[in-house]
């Protein structure tokens, strides 16, 4: 035991002994003296109460001390804690430091976690970083965290998933010594959080944070970790952060910085200098150093200070005329006045031409670290400087605090935004424009070849600023640039470059790119992303020639590639403007604030997200809380929103991320009820509970009114635009009510089904209800109060919204479509295939230009409300499996309904479903390799039929036995026999020529299992059957692959191999040489087995998760897998060489006999590709 533990143990023993003595005295009080001395007489008078109280106190004390003893200690093997932060002598104490120290050392009461986040925020130059380091050096902070204080500098350069993950991994090594690396910043953050959970109190000083993506991994887990953040971007901070604003210094603080280590100066001179500085920390420090340098050269202190002041006055007016306290950094004129004098005074110490070179730095982008080699190229063009001379000049700027110079990545220079703005204005617009052109020339004509992040991030910006719009469009639309930006910053970077170019052609290219942006997320390996980009764009008119030219380039020709043979079936409608992914699970509701600049969505994952529908930005409205959100309503003409979940309470929020939710409001309904629907007006909130109760509340949570309708539960509600009345949908009726529920009118009956959603036109002249039978009912509220019905969807209509002008409406349904309807004619103006699965909600932006839909597929989609409908044939949708018809180029595709249809390799022409006179075949179908006939499962038998055989001609029928059906089929390579895996769990072998059963091989699991696939070796000497069955104890399924040896189409007795897997395998295939058996699984594994021994030989893993099917190329060199990507693997090396992505996961794939064609199917249809090795 440690000394600390021994002390705690002794304390515990002493407390227990004292309590025992007092308890004994109390217990014996009845037989003792009539009176005890002093306060002890209270124990004598009420002995048993004291016995109980002291016993409870002893137990509580023991628990507390034991808990304190058991708190985690530092993990053995951790690196030594960092040495204490050193604070420069010139740094003075500020009131913000005490507030911050108090915040980081405080444990919040009532919280389940000790972890808190405190921020120092403010404009640049006000001393946030210095102040944070002073907090870390505080003795109180060091005692509280026992020295476990770690400074982690983020910086603006840490952008993109890979860079953030690397920064988290660096922090993990720094704190714990753990060297585990992750490519995903979320996974890296989760890992760091788990390690921190096993460690004692820790303080992270996260310095120079620029956005929420950078800080999010550091906020995961770590219940005993406190985060202190410095940032100039408050929006990057999570909700609940305790914020400490760092602004101008107080007069006393400013005086201390200004006069640090200076001899005594006359008071009027000090006051004048303080006035000139505006009490801005950066300027104060710069003035102090300038005076110090002049004194160091022999100047008298008073003369040096006066000379500095004269320079300030001579080169510009004072910052503030009457009130030096207010320094408005958002006012460019006043900012320039604050900087001008200081900069001009410092220029006297620069070498010849240094002032001009300093001014030229203002051409670079704001808030960026500038690469020194790039500065050198600019100064070579403008001043003839060599790189060594440029580096020397940068060092001189750094010494005078004009810039900040770091040695990272070949040298980086940061110039303060206030100084940059001043220098920019000093140059004047003509000179700045010319300078942008010079810098753009320094990038070279092929900026995509640069490895420098600054060039890639700002080349388009500089070209446009130079007035070279044509060059900007040329670069931004070049596929080499788009590929580079895609890999560097993601799809929105390439889109933003095109979007910024003020030309119609560039805007159309940007529109195409943003429609595909959700599919252009990072891939593993990264080089697949180029293939995905090409596949999503090459069928579009504006990109077709560009892609073809690019794919002919030597660097693209040198690596394998999948090219589209036909138009992908899931190309987005032209009306689709943007897709947001991010919710894990269905997106249940969407709301649009009155300004239309953002969206708010809630999902089944408990996450509320804020989205920018125009530029694609995103902000987190609330932290994850599973099960918390179900429905959402946004108040008109404000930023208030209301969310409800599965409980009886609901919450009111604002869109200001710094504002926490109000206290829980409610409860709604009766016992066991929860919030089903919400509506909000400017002063009221209406709720519908799952028990059918309608209630009205004010925004403070005061209950105003309640209504229940006997025999007809309320299901949904909407406020009129003026908030005076409500439209309420029920199971049988639609009703109108006053906002206080005092007045009610039955508007009419539903169309025979409950109302799922209801909406009111802005002028209140009509309402519309979406009902569970797919019908929309329009109720006219002006005489003669007519009602119209629209058959809107196949299956229930689930959502409805009305345009602001009341001329049209939008609806969504279980069929996954969003339809736009004309109010007057009730005709469908457009119908979009919006989601895979149910549409949960629709909304219309305040300007009427956009329709927003959310669905069960986890997507949020933004549509052009006036966009044309994209016509689909419907032949290719809902596909499950694809096989090649023998050695032909034809395909057989099994659809969602179980029917099988034939088509060409491009999916252009389709046959009717394969059938006999008894109807369509809905069971398994297998084709002979010659391609002229097939076997199809039918009730109690298998039918053999020629492909061109008329339906009226009866096929050959192979009876399987009473109550036995075929679950999987395979035909022998020579066509002489076929194998049937039946519903009894057995394998039946049939001679096709003799129409006789030759063998029945029992299955190990009997009728409990279901056959999935039968695969036959190319030489016909063995076959494999994949079966599934539910797990006996746990949920899910397990799989068994039964390998049967054959001779002449008959089973060889005793020659079976069984491969058992504890998960549901999804695919089975045999290599062309018959030596390997391949399986796929939902975990993403592709396993290779020896079929004769059942030995696992190797495993490939798809990093994107489940693999639904696979196929081996005819030459055996390539393996194709279908999942979230269609991947092609090198069979020899196990490396992915090509891949494309579809809107929905692919379910099956097949190689064409020529080994060049590769087809795949999914929910959206058939995808045909050419593989170029």
Q: For residue 317, what pLDDT is reported?
A: 28
Q: In the predicted model, is pLDDT for residue 1148 greater than 70?
A: yes
Q: For residue 343, what pLDDT is reported?
A: 62
Section 503-509 average pLDDT:
90
Beta strands 1136-1141 and 640-644 are unpaired
Predicted confidence band of residue 90 (pLDDT cuts 50, 70, 90): low
Predicted confidence band of residue 219 (pLDDT cuts 50, 70, 90): confident
DSSP 468-500: -HHHHHHHHT-HHHHHHHHHHH-HHHHHHHHHH
Section 890-913 average pLDDT:
91
DSSP 311-347: HHHHTS--S-SS-TT---TT-HHHHHHHHHHHHHHHH
Section 1053-1079 average pLDDT:
90
Note whether 182 and 162 are within 8 A (CB): no
Q: For residue 661, what pLDDT is reported?
A: 56
Section 970-992 average pLDDT:
93
- Determine the length of the chain: 1173
The enclosing H or E element of 307 equals helix 301-314
353: left (phi over 0), alpha (psi -120 to 50) or beta: left
For residue 777, count CB atoms less than 10 angstroms from its CB and return exposed for 0-12, middle for 13-18, buried for 19 or more.
buried
Pairwise pLDDT comparison (984 vs 242), residue with the higher score: 984
Full strand arrangement of the beta sheet holding 1157-1162:
561-564, 1165-1172, 1157-1162, 1146-1151
Q: In the predicted model, is pLDDT for residue 658 greater than 70?
A: no
**Which parts of 853-994 fold into alpha helices (H)?**
none
Note whether 547 and 479 are within 8 A (CB): yes
Enumerate the β-bridge partners of residue 1039: 1028, 1061
Q: For residue 889, what pLDDT is reported?
A: 80
Predicted confidence band of residue 112 (pLDDT cuts 50, 70, 90): very low
Predicted confidence band of residue 786 (pLDDT cuts 50, 70, 90): confident
Note whether 57 and 124 are within 8 A (CB): no
Predicted confidence band of residue 664 (pLDDT cuts 50, 70, 90): confident
Q: In the predicted model, is pLDDT for residue 875 greater than 50?
A: no
Q: For residue 903, what pLDDT is reported?
A: 93
Note whether 154 and 215 are within 8 A (CB): yes
CA dihedral over 185, 187, 189, 192, signed as positive or negative: negative
Q: In the predicted model, is pLDDT for residue 626 greater than 60?
A: no
Among 240-244, 268-272, 738-742, the range with the most confident prediction by mean pLDDT is: 738-742
CA dihedral over 111, 116, 120, 122, signed as positive or negative: negative
Predicted confidence band of residue 283 (pLDDT cuts 50, 70, 90): confident
Q: In the predicted model, is pLDDT for residue 69 greater than 50?
A: no
Q: For residue 646, what pLDDT is reported?
A: 80
Section 388-405 average pLDDT:
86
Which tokens belong to 86?
A: 């050193």
Q: In the predicted model, is pLDDT for residue 157 greater than 70?
A: yes
End-to-end CA distance of the chain: 67
Q: For residue 308, what pLDDT is reported?
A: 81
Enumerate helices (H) and strands (E) in the chain, giving the number of each: 27, 64
- Dihedral angle of Cα 420, 423, 429, 432, to the nearest 10 degrees: -70
Least confident of 460-464, 919-923, 1103-1107: 919-923
Least confident of 438-452, 674-688, 866-880, 1020-1034: 866-880
* pTM over cut 0.75: no
Note whether 795 and 775 are within 8 A (CB): no
Enumerate the β-bridge partners of residue 599: 611
DSSP 869: P
Predicted confidence band of residue 116 (pLDDT cuts 50, 70, 90): very low
568-585, pLDDT tens digit by residue? 988 887 788 888 877 778
Q: For residue 198, what pLDDT is reported?
A: 85
Q: For residue 422, what pLDDT is reported?
A: 75
Q: In the predicted model, is pLDDT for residue 416 greater than 80?
A: no
Distance, in Å, from the CA atom of 822 to the CA atom of 816, rounded to the nearest integer, reads 20
Section 626-637 average pLDDT:
73
Q: For residue 333, what pLDDT is reported?
A: 38
Q: In the predicted model, is pLDDT for residue 2 greater than 70?
A: no
Note whether 444 and 451 are within 8 A (CB): no
Section 868-884 average pLDDT:
65
Section 1010-1015 average pLDDT:
95
560 vs 94, 235, 531, 1171, CA distance in Å?
A: 62, 44, 9, 7
Distance, in Å, from the CA atom of 786 to the CA atom of 797, rounded to the nearest integer, reads 21
Note whether 1009 and 1040 are within 8 A (CB): yes
Distance, in Å, from the CA atom of 1166 to the CA atom of 1173, rounded to the nearest integer, reads 22
Which is nearest to 947 in space by CA: 905, 1007, 902, 917? 902
Q: In the predicted model, is pLDDT for residue 75 greater than 70?
A: no
298-346, pLDDT tens digit by residue? 888 898 888 888 776 655 323 322 233 333 433 433 433 445 555 665 6
Q: In the predicted model, is pLDDT for residue 1010 greater than 50?
A: yes
Q: For residue 338, what pLDDT is reported?
A: 46
Predicted confidence band of residue 417 (pLDDT cuts 50, 70, 90): low
Note whether 91 and 134 are within 8 A (CB): yes
724-736, pLDDT tens digit by residue? 999 999 998 899 9
Q: For residue 565, what pLDDT is reported?
A: 92
Q: What is the CA radius of gyration of the chain?
A: 37
Predicted confidence band of residue 118 (pLDDT cuts 50, 70, 90): low
DSSP 1007: G
Residue 492 CB neighbour total at 10 angstroms: 18
Which is nearest to 1109 in space by CA: 1156, 1167, 1057? 1167
Q: For residue 523, what pLDDT is reported?
A: 92
Distance, in Å, from the CA atom of 355 to the CA atom of 1005, rounded to the nearest integer, reads 86
Q: In the predicted model, is pLDDT for residue 986 greater than 80?
A: yes
919-931, pLDDT tens digit by residue? 888 899 999 988 8
pLDDT exceeding 90 applies to what percent of the chain?
Answer: 41
Predicted confidence band of residue 109 (pLDDT cuts 50, 70, 90): very low
Q: For residue 728, what pLDDT is reported?
A: 94
Section 766-779 average pLDDT:
93
Beta strands 650-654 and 640-644 are antiparallel
Mean residue pLDDT across the chain = 83
Predicted confidence band of residue 110 (pLDDT cuts 50, 70, 90): very low
Q: For residue 1159, what pLDDT is reported?
A: 96
Q: For residue 1043, what pLDDT is reported?
A: 94
Beta strands 149-153 and 202-209 are parallel
**Which parts of 585-657 fold into alpha helices (H)?**
none
Q: In the predicted model, is pLDDT for residue 1171 greater than 80?
A: yes
Q: What are the two backbone dihedrals, phi and then psi, of residue 331, each rounded to the nearest 5 degrees?
A: -95, 105
Section 830-852 average pLDDT:
89
pLDDT exceeding 70 applies to what percent of the chain?
Answer: 84
């Amino acid at each position: 035991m440690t000394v600390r533990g021994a002390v705690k143990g002794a304390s515990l023993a002493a407390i227990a002994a004292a309590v025992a003595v007092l308890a004994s005295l109390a217990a014996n009080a009845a037989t003792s003296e009539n009176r005890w001395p002093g306060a002890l007489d209270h124990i004598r008078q009420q002995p048993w109460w004291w016995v109980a109280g002291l016993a409870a106190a002893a137990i509580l004390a023991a628990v507390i001390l034991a808990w304190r003893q058991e708190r985690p200690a530092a993990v053995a093997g951790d690196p030594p804690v960092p040495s204490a932060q050193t604070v420069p002598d010139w740094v003075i104490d500020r009131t913000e430091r005490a507030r911050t120290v108090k915040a980081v050392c405080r444990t919040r009461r009532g919280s389940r976690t000790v972890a808190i986040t405190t921020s120092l925020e403010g404009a640049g130059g006000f001393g946030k970083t210095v102040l944070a380091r002073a907090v870390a050096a505080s003795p109180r902070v060091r005692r509280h965290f026992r020295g476990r204080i770690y400074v982690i500098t983020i910086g603006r350069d840490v952008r993109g998933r890979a860079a953030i993950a690397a920064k988290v991994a660096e922090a993990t090594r720094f704190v714990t010594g753990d060297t585990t690396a992750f490519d995903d910043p979320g996974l890296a953050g989760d890992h760091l959080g788990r390690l921190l959970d096993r460690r004692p109190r820790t303080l992270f000083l996260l310095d120079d944070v620029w956005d929420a993506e950078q800080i999010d991994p550091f906020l995961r887990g770590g219940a005993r970790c406190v985060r202190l953040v410095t940032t100039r971007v408050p929006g990057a901070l999570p909700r609940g952060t305790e914020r400490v604003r760092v602004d101008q210094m107080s007069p006393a603080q400013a005086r201390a910085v200004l006069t640090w280590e200076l001899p005594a100066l006359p008071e009027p001179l000090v006051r004048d200098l303080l006035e000139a500085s505006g009490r801005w920390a950066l300027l104060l420090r710069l003035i102090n150093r300038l005076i110090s340098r002049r004194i160091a050269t022999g100047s008298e202190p008073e003369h040096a200070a006066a000379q500095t002041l004269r320079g300030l006055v001579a080169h510009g007016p004072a910052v503030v005329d009457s009130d030096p306290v207010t320094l408005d950094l958002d006012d460019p004129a006043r900012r320039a006045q604050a900087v001008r004098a200081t900069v001009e005074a410092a220029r006297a110490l620069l070498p010849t031409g240094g002032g001009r070179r300093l001014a030229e730095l203002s051409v670079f982008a704001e808030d960026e670290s500038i690469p020194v080699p790039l500065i050198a190229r600019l100064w070579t063009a403008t001043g003839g400087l060599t790189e060594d001379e440029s580096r020397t000049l940068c060092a001189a700027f750094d010494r005078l605090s004009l810039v900040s110079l770091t040695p990272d990545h070949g040298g980086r220079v940061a110039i303060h935004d206030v100084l940059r703005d001043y220098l920019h204005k000093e140059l004047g617009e003509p000179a700045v424009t010319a300078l942008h052109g010079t810098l753009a020339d320094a990038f070279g004509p092929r900026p995509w070849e640069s490895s420098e992040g600054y060039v890639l991030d700002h080349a388009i910006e500089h070209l446009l600023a130079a007035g070279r719009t044509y060059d900007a469009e040329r670069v931004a639309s070049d596929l080499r640039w788009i590929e580079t930006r895609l890999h560097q910053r993601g799809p929105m970077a390439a889109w933003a470059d095109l979007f910024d170019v003020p030309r119609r052609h560039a805007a159309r290219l940007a529109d195409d790119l943003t429609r595909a942006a959700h599919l252009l997320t990072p891939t593993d390996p990264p080089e697949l992303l180029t293939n995905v980009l090409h596949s999503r764009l090459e069928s579009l008119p504006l990109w077709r020639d560009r892609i073809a030219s690019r794919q002919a380039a030597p660097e693209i020709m040198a690596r394998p590639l999948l090219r589209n043979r036909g138009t992908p079936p899931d190309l987005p409608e032209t009306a689709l403007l943007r897709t947001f992914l991010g919710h894990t699970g269905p997106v249940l509701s969407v709301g649009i604030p009155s300004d239309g600049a953002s969206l708010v969505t809630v999902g089944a994952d408990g996450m509320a997200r804020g989205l920018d529908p125009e530029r694609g930005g995103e902000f987190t409205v609330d932290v994850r809380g599973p099960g918390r959100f179900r429905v959402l309503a946004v108040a008109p003409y404000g930023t208030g929103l209301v969310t409800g979940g599965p409980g009886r309470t609901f919450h009111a929020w604002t869109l200001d991320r710094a504002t926490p939710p109000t206290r829980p409001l409610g409860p709604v309904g009766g016992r066991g009820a929860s919030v089903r629907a919400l509506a909000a007006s400017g002063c009221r909130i209406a709720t519908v509970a799952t028990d059918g109760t309608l209630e009205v509340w004010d925004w403070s949570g005061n209950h105003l009114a309640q209504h229940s309708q006997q025999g007809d539960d309320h299901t949904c509600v909407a406020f009129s635009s003026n908030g005076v009345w409500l439209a309420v949908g029920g199971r049988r009726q639609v009703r109108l009510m006053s906002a206080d529920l005092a007045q009610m009118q039955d508007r009419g009956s539903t169309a025979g089904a409950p109302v799922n959603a209801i909406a009111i036109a802005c002028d209140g002249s009509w309402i519309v209800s979406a009902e569970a039978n797919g019908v929309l009912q329009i109720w006219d509220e002006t005489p003669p109060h007519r009602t119209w019905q629209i058959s809107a969807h196949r299956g229930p209509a689930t959502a409805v919204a009305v345009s602001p002008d009341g001329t049209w409406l939008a609806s969504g349904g279980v069929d996954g479509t969003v339809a736009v309807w004309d109010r007057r004619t009730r005709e469908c103006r457009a119908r979009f295939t919006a989601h895979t699965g149910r549409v949960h909600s629709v909304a219309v932006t305040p300007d009427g230009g956009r329709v927003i839909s959310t669905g069960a597929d986890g997507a949020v989609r933004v549509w052009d409300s006036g966009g044309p409908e994209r016509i689909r044939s419907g032949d290719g949708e809902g596909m499950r499996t694809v096989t090649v018809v023998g050695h032909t180029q034809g395909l057989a595709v099994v659809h969602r309904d179980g029917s099988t249809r034939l088509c060409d390799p491009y999916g252009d022409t389709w046959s009717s479903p394969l059938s006999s006179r008894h109807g369509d075949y809905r069971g398994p179908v297998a084709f002979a390799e010659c391609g002229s006939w097939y076997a199809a499962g039918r009730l109690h038998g298998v039918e053999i039929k020629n492909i061109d055989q008329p339906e009226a001609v009866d096929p050959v029928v192979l009876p399987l036995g009473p109550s036995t059906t075929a679950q999987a089929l395979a035909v022998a390579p020579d066509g002489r026999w076929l194998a049937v895996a039946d519903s009894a769990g057995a394998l039946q072998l049939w001679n096709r020529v003799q129409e006789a059963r030759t063998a029945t091989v029992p299955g190990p699991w009997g009728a409990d299992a279901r056959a999935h696939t039968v695969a036959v070796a190319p030489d016909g000497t063995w076959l494999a059957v994949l079966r599934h069955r539910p797990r006996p104890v746990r949920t899910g399924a397990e799989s068994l692959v039964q390998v049967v040896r054959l001779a002449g189409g008959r089973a060889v007795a005793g020659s079976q191999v069984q491969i058992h897997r504890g998960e549901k395998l999804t695919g089975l295939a045999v290599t062309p040489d018959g030596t390997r058996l391949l399986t796929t699984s939902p975990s993403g594994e592709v396993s290779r087995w020896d079929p004769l021994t059942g030995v696992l030989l190797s495993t490939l893993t798809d990093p994107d998760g489940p693999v639904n099917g696979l196929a081996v190329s005819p030459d055996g060199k390539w393996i194709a897998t279908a999942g979230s990507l269609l991947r092609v693997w090198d069979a020899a090396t196990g490396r992915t060489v090509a891949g494309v992505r579809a809107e929905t996961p692919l379910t099956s794939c097949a190689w064409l006999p020529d080994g060049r064609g590769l087809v795949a199917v999914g929910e959206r249809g058939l995808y045909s590709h050419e593989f170029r090795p």
